[in-house]
Amino acid sequence: MDQAERLRMMVGNHQHQKPMMKKAKIITVASGKGGVGKTNVTMNMALELAKQGKRVVILDADLGLSNVEVLFGIIPSYTLSDMLFGGKSLMDILTPGPFGIYFISSGSGVQDLVQLSPIELQNCIVQLQPLDQVADIIFIDTGAGVSQTVIQFIQASDDTIVVTTPEPTSITDAYALIKTLKNNVSSQDRFPNIQLLINRVDTQEEGEEVFLKIQRASEKFLNTTIHNLGYIPYDVKMIQAVKLQKPLCIAYPQSSAAQAFYSIACKMLNIKEEKIQPTGLGGFMKKIFHLFGETI
């Protein structure tokens, strides 16, 4: 039985059943400033975790732009939009990628989940729910900027990777994102678990400096703790991989940036699931509903 057949069986078997105990861990990847490397981080982290045996799905939540498919160089047959409005199933919209991962392209026509009616959102939840059985980790790659949708995705996730570069504008925008989160989370809600990832560093010391800068400001002015996920070096191979439309860790596995992704994936697996139970897709969507002022 090949990978697609196995997935078809798993999704099919669970589509009409009550959700089972197993839940996927939801990790949202966000940034203040655009173009800092979120999509490349998502793809390469997903692939490194898949190489280490995790079942990973990427949801491209860059609604309307769908960069993930471009960087994979794979044209999906169907998208989230086709599931929501075109009668396609979850199985149809899961596009196979390398190392057994799957991704869901948002497609065009879904500008913002907020714009969906409660019935459409509920339909979306029900149809995505079987992902909890087929994935250990679901990455949500968000678009540029701090929209209300991104804030709500972060609040509903188990973990958030905030990507920044050492550029001052990127640092201030990353801090602004954390501040916006702080202002949006009420005192009874859990503050999002924020892992800072610094991309395009010249040296480890530079990465360390950027982390400390954001950490100190967050602690001092926002009374908020953030975690250090690690640093990815500036690497010309990354730019070449993007041009080839191939993930870096496949095109240039020996490159310094690919090695850094590998180390961070190892680190992530060591810090996994220690504190909180994974939310699962159902829990994630319920929180999104709650944040949108709807109840299910």
Ligand X SMILES: Nc1ncnc2c1ncn2[C@@H]1O[C@H](COP(=O)(O)OP(=O)(O)OP(=O)(O)O)[C@@H](O)[C@H]1O
Exactly one of 39, 66, 105, 164 binds ligand X (CB under 6 A); that residue is: 39
Contact partner, 239, from ligand X, Mg ion, none, Cβ < 5-8 Å per class: ligand X
Q: Which is nearer to ligand X, 49 or 260 (CB)?
A: 260
Contact partner, 257, from Mg ion, ligand X, none, Cβ < 5-8 Å per class: ligand X
Residue 41 CB, shortest distance to ligand X, in Å, is: 7
Cα 229 from chain centre: 14
Exactly one of 242, 244, 251, 269 binds ligand X (CB under 6 A); that residue is: 242
The structure tokens 């729910």 sit at: 129
Contact partner, 235, from Mg ion, ligand X, none, Cβ < 5-8 Å per class: ligand X
Contact partner, 114, from ligand X, Mg ion, none, Cβ < 5-8 Å per class: none
Site residue total, ligand X (CB under 6 A): 21
Q: Which is nearer to Mg ion, 67 or 170 (CB)?
A: 67
- Which residues in 186-215 contact ligand X (CB under 6 A)? 199-200
Q: Is 287 in the site for Mg ion (CB under 5 A)?
A: no
- Each residue 52-81 as x (binds Mg ion by CB under 5 A) or -, in order, gives ---------------x--------------
Contact partner, 200, from Mg ion, ligand X, none, Cβ < 5-8 Å per class: ligand X
Residue 155 CB, shortest distance to Mg ion, in Å, is: 20
> 46: Cβ–Cβ under 8 A, 6 or more apart, which residues?
56, 58, 101, 137, 139
Q: Which is nearer to ligand X, 28 or 40 (CB)?
A: 40
Residue 38 CB, shortest distance to Mg ion, in Å, is: 5
Q: Which is nearer to ligand X, 144 or 185 (CB)?
A: 144
Q: Is 51 in the site for Mg ion (CB under 5 A)?
A: no
Q: Is 132 in the site for ligand X (CB under 6 A)?
A: no
Q: Is 33 in the site for Mg ion (CB under 5 A)?
A: no
Which residues are paired to 56 by β-bridges?
A: 137
Residue 43 CB, shortest distance to ligand X, in Å, is: 8
Q: Is 105 in the site for Mg ion (CB under 5 A)?
A: no
Report the 3 state secondary structure along 196-256.
Answer: EEEEEECCHHHHHHHHHHHHHHHHHHHCCCCEEEEEEECCHHHHHHHHHCCCHHHHCCCCH
Stretch that binds ligand X, among 32-40, 100-108, 132-140, 272-280 (CB under 6 A): 32-40
Q: Is 31 in the site for ligand X (CB under 6 A)?
A: yes
The structure tokens 């057994």 sit at: 100
What is the binding site for Mg ion (CB under 5 A)? Answer: 38-39, 67
